[in-house]
Structure 1
Amino acid sequence: MIKSLLPIFLLSIMANAQNKTDFLTPYEKGNGNQTATYEETIAYFQLLDESFETVSMQEMGLTDSGEPLHIVTFNPAKDFDFEKIQKEKAVLLINNGIHPGEPDGIDATMMLFRDLALGKIKVPKNVVIVNIPIYNIGGALNRNSFSRANQNGPESYGFRGNARNYDLNRDFLKSDTRNARSFAQIFHKVNPDIFIDNHVSNGADYQYVFTYIATHPQKIGGNLGKFWESEMLPSLLSDLKKKKIESVPYVNIHDEKPDNGFEAFMDYPRYSTGFASMFNTIGSMPETHMLKEYASRVKVTYEYMISSIEYADKNYRKIKDLRKENLQNYRPGQKYVLLWELDADKVSSIPFLGYEGGYKPSDISGKPRLFYDETKPFSKTIPYYRDYKPSLEVLIPEAYIVPKSWWNVIELLKINNIQMIPLEKDTELEVESYRIKDFKTSSSAYEGHYPHNSVNVTSTKKKVLFRKGDFLIKTQQPGVKYLLETLEPQGNDSYFVWNFFDSILQQKEYFSAYVFEDLAKQLLDKNPKLKSEFEKKKAEDPKFADSGEAQLDWIYRHSDYYEKSHMEYPVFRIMK
């Protein structure tokens, strides 16, 4: 009897040994300084999908590379219906490889999903984990060993720019890339309660392996922001400390010593966590330190994700309730902060583990150069500026009206789950209308655009005839903050700032001076008030008084002949 069982027993041992080998990740099979390729990453998650009922891999939308994004989901309940999941559990969305030269999260998440599937770590009851294995596929395919000149490993890695050379962590709101549009599809499908976007830092040198960008609590707003700042984030960092992992906020300085302090990073909507916060999702960016060994960076990234899962598992209901409650802070008639500025009068202090630094003559130029002496570590308290104050607020309207002609805007609103009502017939409505009074434009290209800044508008109330099919967009919906950030032209990342409406900045009709001279005189003769304003301007403005061209243009712009659409912002507000 024993003889007959022995072959079966040996086969079982061999099968188990083979299984253990099969589930080693490409990173674990290497020397600790190697990261998985795109093909290896997808193949590994396909293996997990085929091997475990708790893991599901799904193909999503295309990227600029022509390859599709994937999501890999771990749910111990083996259910992958997100409408159902959202009613019962919290969702943690992990994004990896947005900058494929920063691949720590790619390798750490493969191990995380394997360990969850095998039960090697505590399996959450109340959290479903979703992972985008590699977001920037084009960058991952553009593999090299030199583009991260300041980084200590791995041996080879992907490139920061995507297949069309966009930095995808500047594209979440403007969505120039297929990647960003497919990400929005994923984001709204899974509707994450918590979001982690894994990165590697650049900048100063210090002792920490793990730094982080936490979504600014003032941007999240309300009790949700307070909870993130005073409860959840401190608990996560305390848990890391128990694992002997020290941490510090992202050291937001370059080419200078951090000894004098630094400011908290304000993650605007162009960034991943800023995008997530528009939908009341708590977000963080682990930023492991570029000069630390790759293996140690992968380890702390892994541990941060574990800490996040464990915390969410215990507090999932509170997180979900606070997200829902936070919508009440953005009702028509309430103020919304569009622009923030650092409050330099409010300074706190944080402990900091750094290295002594100084300046010495450069061997290249002979000029002073910064250096850090890692043989001289220090622990000191330094200033930290974490408070911002509003620099521009707007009142939240009851609704926006976007004419159907602006299909480029309508398309992005739809992609981001914004609910819109097409007018059933031609309708005259009283609205608040903006005119672009002044703005500046970048003199150099930035992420495929020449963005505007310092936008100034004037506002008037008037009746406007809208056409059948124009879109009424009520603000009382989950995407209210997205609407405000995109449609208010003065916003830091508004559609106007990103050149979506540049055609309104161009006149289409003009006048010939020799023809308009006689008409201009008639206009002044028939309108004493206009003539008085004209003479006053000449008296007060010597340059104007000395320019016949400027005077004719002024009269033209104050006449019925001037096209009203020039500089008129084509998105209208309906106030409560």
Structure 2
Amino acid sequence: MEKNLIIYFLLTSFFTFSQKSDAFLTPYEKGNKNQTAMYQEAIDFYNSLTKEFKTIKLMEMGLTDSGEPLRLLIFNPEKDFDLKKNQNKAMLLINNNIHPSEPDGVDASMMLIRDLATGKITVPKNTIIAVISFYNIGGTLNRNSFSRANQNGPESYGFRGNDRNFDLNRDFIKSDTKNARSFAEIFHLVNPDVFIDNHVSNGADYQYVLTYIQTQHQKLGNDLGNYLKDEMTPKIRTQLLKKKIESIPYVTVYGATPEKGFTQMMDLPRYSTGYASLFHTIGYMPETHMLKKYEDRVKVTYEFMLETIAHTDANYLKIKYLRTKNQIQFKPKSLYTLQWKIDSTKVEQIDFLGFESGYKKSEISGKDRLFYDQKKLFKKQIPYYHFYKPQKQVEIPSAYIIPKSWWNVIDLLKLNKVEMVQFEKDTLIEVEKYKIADYKTATSAYEGHYPHSNTTVNKLIEKIVFKKGDYFIPTQQFAVKYLMETLEPEAPDSFFNWNFFDGILQQKEGYSAYVFEDLAVEILAKNPTLKEKFEKKKAEDKSFADNGSAQLDWIYKNSEYYESSHLTYPVYRVLN
């Protein structure tokens, strides 16, 4: 009798599980495996899961440019959705449809959460999983079948740009969109230990369905970066290989073939994984290959997320420890690298599964065109460059000071949970200040800006009275890397290079030459040292000696009449 009851219980459990699994088939599974769920279909699917399973909660968060809110889904087997209270657990954040023409993660995540809820796959004990099902909602709703010309499925999909035509994977630092601002709120609420942002690649052809971008280990930080490079990623790849899934770092080759090797992408903070690294978060960007079948791409995206969850769950204490330790590396008076360049002396030979390629006459132009022969497979070793070396470094100050007038920057610092205090009264402090010495400005628009590059500064030490309400920002805090990457003007994705401080680049006052000529004579007569410098410059610089306007302007800019705010960078460094 007891044996029969056990058999009955097992059969009942099996049929109950099967019925629940069948009841929650995704649109992708119900179709021909070449269709991705539409926006409302996915929201309805997740709502049906939340009604059935108490381990899932779907929350509306901040708005996007589309007017729709971002929705954050949380899976916690302990049914507790207070994320701040659960920071002792690992937090893993998954982002989908940042580029809605690359929807693999949407369908893979729906199946993943369903399988976790129903117990079809192993449920993590130490990890809470948070999912942004659709980040670019406007682009998701702008559905079509043609904007991704190089891609093999699905049958229809969203558009890369959002409702205002921004590429959201270039907006994390500048935060021009409501999407980015709402994402920052989610990111700091979750405080992820590991972050996954699902994508589909463009570029060369090869055998792999799955490639991946991981945060550049040196940029992430010494111990945490080495753990990512030497332990976490190799172990995840090994587990995938057991499932017959080959993987390789993202192949950064465009218009050429990979045989000569390639470099690891330096993920700047404008990108999702680069932004995540500023807060000591391990970042992965799976890049499935555009020419592979949609069904195969969804499968490997699912498996990559599954194995990353498993590794995080098994190693959560070490990952959390290394994250906490990571910020200590970036302390005042130590050097911080603002600009990197590839170190060609450090190269790793890696196995590569490719297709033979060649050139043939184009039927369009009659010129040579590249082609890959997918019937001719090869495996060979090729060079992979994933070590960088510092190109530009700066000493980390003990603090920054920003006048309260620069509210646009202060708002973003607050959004990103930067710790700062306001002066309670006017205060005299010795600081290091920058004068912008040179910069180049883009001649065509890029993501709503004409950004600067090749910025250089001159440094001066000066005592300045800061006003009551100005902001004092210590660097000994969790957001130290965010501060360095945004407030140092020579950093590639600094607020200066993204045009936040363009007001200082324009003079507001000037002079009429016929009036200032006489005043210039008086200025030189009253200041022998200045006159000596002036005469020396004329003697050493023939073009200056032959240019009367340049001479007058030099005297003006070295006089008390010249506005001190011109080219003075209004973020000050406290060194002591």
State whether TM-score is above 0.5. yes
Task: Give, in whole Å, the separation in 2 of the partners of 1:510 and 1:366.
Answer: 58
Residue equivalent to 2:129: 129
**1:263-282 correspondence to structure 2 within 5 Å:** 263-282=263-282
Residues 354-373 of structure 1: matches in 2 within 5 Å?
354-373=354-373
Between the aligned partners of 1:260 and 1:183, the Cα distance in structure 2 is 38
How far did 1:548 drift?
Answer: 1.2
Task: Give the C-alpha shift of residue 476 in structure 1.
Answer: 1.0
Instruction: Pick closer, same or farther for the CA change 1:117–1:564 going to 2, 3 Å.
Output: same
Residue 422 of structure 1: aligned partner: 422
1:352 aligns with 352
Offset, 1:536? 1.4
- Cα displacement (A) at 1:16: 7.5
Structure 1 residue 308 corresponds to structure 2 residue 308: yes
2:67 maps to 66
Please say if 1:230 is aligned against 2:225.
no
Structure 2 counterpart of 1:81, one-letter code: D
Alpha-carbon distance between aligned partners in 2 of 1:304 and 1:381, rounded to the nearest angstrom: 24
Instruction: Name 1:6's counterpart in structure 2.
Output: none
Shift of residue 19 of structure 1? 4.0
Alignment RMSD (CA, Å):
1.3
Matches within 5 A, 1:84-95: 84-87=85-88, 89-95=89-95
Q: Secondary structure at the residue paired with 1:463?
A: strand
Establish whether residue 399 from structure 1 lines up as the match of residue 363 from structure 2: no
1:423-438 mapped onto 2 (5 Å cutoff): 423-438=423-438
The 5 A counterparts of 1:47-58 are 47-58=48-59
Look up the SS of the partner of 2:87 in the other structure. helix
2:42 matches 1:33: no
1:4 equivalent in structure 2: none
Amino acid at match of 2:146: F
Shift of 1:526: 1.5
**1:18: Cα distance to partner?**
6.2
Partner of 2:495: 495
Taking structure 1 as the reference length, the TM-score comes to 0.97
1:20 to partner: Cα distance:
3.9
- What amino acid sits opposite 1:125 in the alignment? K
Alignment deviations for residues 303-324 of structure 1 (CA, whole Å, 9 cap, x no partner): 0011011111110000000100
1:182 to 2:176 alignment? no
Tell me the TM-score normalized by structure 2. Answer: 0.97
The structure-2 alpha-carbon separation of the partners of 1:223 and 1:372, relative to structure 1 and needing over 3 Å to count, comes to same
Q: Could you report, residue by residue, the CA deviation over 1:277-296 in whole angstroms, capped at 9, with x for unpaired residues?
A: 00000000000000000000
> How far apart, CA to CA, are the structure 2 residues paired with 1:334 and 1:155?
53
- How far apart, CA to CA, are the structure 1 residues paired with 2:205 and 2:526? 72
**Given the alignment of the two structures, is residue 484 of structure 1 paired with residue 484 of structure 2, yes or no?**
yes
Q: Are the aligned partners of 2:456 and 2:490 in contact in 1 as well (CA < 8 Å)? A: yes
Q: Is the 8 A contact 2:21 2:118 kept in 1?
A: no
Secondary structure class of the residue paired with 2:447: coil
- Distance in structure 1 (CA, Å) of the matches to 2:20 and 2:234: 39
Is the contact made by 2:20 and 2:118 (CA closer than 8 Å) also made in structure 1? no
Structure 1 moving runs of 4+ over 2 Å = 11-22
| Structure 1 residues 35-79: Cα deviation after superposition (integer angstroms, max 9, x where no partner) | 001111111111111110000000000000000001101000000
Q: Which residue of 2 is the match for residue 527 of structure 1?
A: 527
**Counterpart of 2:233 in 1: which secondary structure?**
helix
Q: Which residue of 1 aligns with 2:254?
A: 254
SS of equivalent to 1:486: helix
SS at match of 1:239: helix
Q: Matches of 2:401 and 2:44 in 1, distance apart?
A: 47
Q: Is the 8 A contact 2:60 2:70 kept in 1?
A: yes
Deviations 1:149-187 (A, max 9, x none): 000000000000001000000000110000000000000
Aligned to 2:386: 386
Runs of 5+ in structure 1 lacking a partner? 1-10
Q: Aligned-pair distance for 1:14?
A: 10
Supply the distance in 1 between the matched residues of 2:522 and 2:376 (Cα, whole angstroms).
82
Residues 12/359 of structure 1: CA separation in 2 closer, same or farther (3 Å cut)? closer
Q: Pairwise mapping of residues 468-479 of structure 1 onto structure 2 (< 5 A)?
A: 468-479=468-479
2:436 counterpart SS class:
strand
Q: How far apart are the structure 1 equivalents of 2:249 and 2:314?
A: 24
Counterpart for residue 24 of structure 1: 25
Amino acid at match of 2:29: E
Q: Aligned partners of 2:60, 2:30: CA distance in 1, in Å?
A: 27
Structural mapping, 1:2-13, within 5 Å: none
Structure 1: how far apart are the matches of 2:291 and 2:456?
A: 43
2:133 matches 1:120: no
* Structure 1: distance between partners of 2:110 and 2:14: 25
Alignment CA distance shift 1:15-1:376 (3 Å): closer
Counterparts of 2:57 and 2:91, CA distance in 1: 15
| Alpha-carbon separation, structure 1, partners of 2:426 and 2:43 | 51
CA distance in 2, matches of 1:521, 1:72: 72
C-alpha distance in 2, partners of 1:13/1:266? 48
Q: Mean alpha-carbon deviation: is it higher for 533-542 or for 367-376? A: 533-542
Separation (CA, whole Å) in 2 of partners of 1:20 and 1:454:
56
Q: Distance in 2 between matches of 1:128 and 1:261?
A: 38
The alignment of Structure 1 onto Structure 2 pairs a total of residues equal to: 565
Q: Work out whether residues 209 and 297 of structure 2, in 8 Å CA contact, stay in contact via their aligned partners in 1.
A: yes
Aligned pairs for 1:330-349 within 5 A:
330-349=330-349
* Superimposed CA distance per residue, residues 411-459 of structure 1 (whole angstroms, 9 cap, x where no aligned partner): 0000000111010011111101000001111111110001100001011
Partner of 1:218: 218
Secondary structure of 1:454's counterpart equals strand
2:435 match: secondary structure: strand
Aligned partner of residue 295 in structure 1, secondary structure: helix
